[in-house]
Structure 1
């Protein structure tokens, strides 16, 4: 079983994928294909998607039971001791971080005075 999710991709690519997979919603394709066909479809997506994004998820043997590929997405797959987890990319901050207040916090001031609750 495999799931392919496209966003901001050409309509021609979606039409091409319907030859092999069912389009259950706009840009969401589901089907069962061999590994050779899956790799061929993923290569086709990489060639023709342009600036669009794509995620391919397929079932496999292993602890998680699935594997995936990602193209130009906000989340990146990271291998952590054999488990593939998704890591969100951090945004580059263009503004300065907020200034920290100087001095003691209320809890610190009470601790200095010996007043504990």
Structure 2
């Protein structure tokens, strides 16, 4: 969950297109300052930052938080490792 202070900071520079999803085009300096604020407050949640970068894919991925999925380099491509399909018990507990 985004704190009111963090939501305010993100809203000054980006647009909240869906609750908790912020999109914008900012300088690298502003991007890094916003990401620092996000990583300091994410706690038990999860945050993902995707931004332009001089890579084969044209972007870079950063993650933060205890529930994050860590991007992995695979022969120069950034991939996100997904967990195996959830067990029936896990799916029932989500309902």
Quickly name the TM-score band, shorter chain normalised. 0.7 to 0.9
Gaps (5+ residues) in structure 2? Answer: 86-95
Q: CA deviation at 1:90?
A: 6.1
Query: Which residue, out of 46, 61, 76, partners 2:70?
Result: 76
TM-score, reference length from structure 2: 0.76
Whichever structure has more helix as a proportion of its residues is 2
Aligned length: 85
The answer for the alignment partner of 2:6 in structure 1 is 13
Whichever structure has more strand as a proportion of its residues is 1
Superposed, 1:51-70 pairs within 5 Å as 51-70=44-63
Higher Rg = 1
1:25 equivalent to 2:7? Answer no
The answer for the alignment partner of 2:32 in structure 1 is 39
* Higher RCO (C-alpha under 8 Å, 6+ residues apart): 1
Gaps (5+ residues) in structure 1? Answer: 1-7, 92-117
